[in-house]
Copies of this chain bind each other. A is one copy, B any other.
């Protein structure tokens, strides 16, 4: 029998001790033995930190993003090998697509975010400078730096690829190495993907480790520079969260547990409306996808009393046509549960729900005569959901859901909240008012809520799909944690520190210039410099220009903007300004006239502007002068050797009047040519 090896301290290693067995979910054949007993976790942690952590921290965010992208491309090219192994877990091709390609898509998404939004540096200035004093000599910035430990990812069996990759992407982007402990029942799929990543040579040694089996004494080795994320059962998560080391060292611990997610049919929806069919389709899909083994699966179907019978009949009609089977066979839409243990657990929970008063509409009994772990789609009916706490607390982790009636909108929210915290909920309604009220009443119990109507249904990714840009997690029973959510997830693996000091000191620390920091003036115009030659804080103080009545008149005529504050002496006298003032758009246009160097040069384009504020009005006769300062630089990776190498340069613009008052402050974004590309000499 083959043992599923672990990858620790740069080697594939075998455990020695009591083994668990992985069986084929469809055939029941024994596939692997699993144990990690006897493996040296202390050495594994040290290796991950001293090799992987060090190497990752040496890369800039933009470089880490490029690494993610390369890994994603590599995995995509090799995806078929993962589908093959995934089939052993009872998954259909569609189920595996979510896991494998959904996971790879998450890597791509984080690569894109890192490349677009993060600095080409190892330190992440999170927000803009915060002034803390009247004269401006003391200020602060929040910065994020990489933690120096390792991330321990404890994953669930249901998404062996996605579950790993959705955590790996932000971890690596943050500059941390990861030790991955997959759910044992499907660890062979995770192992195959880890092998593929390791063999690709695209990530530094030690950036990824894998434990097939238990985590041994790893928890005893944790300290405040480590991070733990846990996905799985609430009871295991709660035990780990109280580990003495987690508590004493305040180790960040993110937990994501299965919850009793609901799908609510709005009071406005009757069977004639398209939303009724959408509701039925969504529930059936979320009950049966991955054979219901999804932490986001719909377990509670909450419908208006008046529609209960219609819903029950419609669901029954659809579910009758879905029988579990071998996904390799033609026409099989739902596969097996991952293991016989899992099947028996589902049976036990269904029996308990029945004992609590639920009636079986369809399904309810596993076919124990088959070698595979098959369980049929099971719909239960609970007429008294207020008195039947089991339907809100007891989860059968398979293709099982309970339908229940509500009496009025507030009651529907109460039932939704009765899950005591959910990862996801869906409300099917055509009414914006009903949606807003539902979110005000039930949002606090949910990490994500989909509002499904005809318009959104065309492109909806569905109730059950966590997306890289959206937070995944939920309060209470769902574990109280948050994953994904765009760059939020990256911050989970970093330390935020408020840095206080003079603006010049903050500029030196963050490599970003802010108002009040020292500037360097230089006889060469900054628009004549390539990306590499521009220095943060390099600044141009322009010539001056007096704004005349003729300028305002001409600008009004040319733009067509004859707003009274600019052209109507009488109206302007009564206005906020007390007299005619120059157009704000003219002020920024004249500013460009003062700071732009006109000839062909390395500055390619001005593609945007941020945070423009008009501070003081510009009156006829005022004289303007502009300071243009290089604020932030981000080199962009070239996609091909043919692309022109460029970087983004953000410039701070301050327009001042003759009293040295700021009249306008803003940033402009430019593309600037780099002298040297990323492809060779």
Chain A interface residues (CB < 8 Å from chain B): 122-123, 130, 132-135, 137-138, 140, 142-143, 145-148, 223-225, 234, 238, 241-242, 247-252, 255, 420-421, 432-433, 435-436, 439-440, 443-453, 455-456, 458-461, 467, 469-471, 475-482, 485-486, 494-502, 504-509, 511, 545, 551, 554-555, 558-565, 567-568, 571, 574-577, 583-586, 588-590, 592-594, 596, 598-600, 604-614, 666, 671
Contacts and interface: CB of A to CB of B under 8 A. Distances in A.
With most chain B CB atoms within 10 A of its CB, the pick from A467, A589, A599 is A589
A459 B138 CA distance: 6
B598 A509 contact: no
Contact of A592 (B446, B505, B559): B559
Contacts of A495: 443-446, 475
A238 B250 CA distance: 9
Nearest to A500: B450
A146 B607 CA distance: 39
B137 A456 contact: yes
Given A499-B439, A508-B436, A562 B614 contact: no
A148 B440 CA distance: 11
A456 B509 CA distance: 14
Contacts of A577: 605
A678 to B, nearest CB: 19
With most chain B CB atoms within 10 A of its CB, the pick from A461, A478, A551, A563 is A563
B555 A250 contact: no
Given A471-B497, A560-B594, A608-B614, 8 more contacts: A137-B456, A242-B242, A249-B420, A250-B255, A561-B589, A563-B592, A574-B600, A583-B589
A596 B563 contact: yes
A498 B447 contact: yes
Contacts of A459: 132-135, 137-138
Contacts of A598: 561-564, 567-568
A468 to B, nearest CB: 10
16 contacts: A122-B440, A132-B461, A133-B461, A137-B459, A145-B439, A148-B444, A224-B420, A249-B421, A435-B509, A451-B499, A475-B495, A560-B593, A568-B600, A576-B604, A583-B592, A608-B613
Given A498-B448, A589-B555, A440 B123 contact: yes
A643 B585 CA distance: 28
Contact of A444 (B147, B436, B511, B589): B147
With most chain B CB atoms within 10 A of its CB, the pick from A439, A501, A504 is A501
Nearest to A617: B605
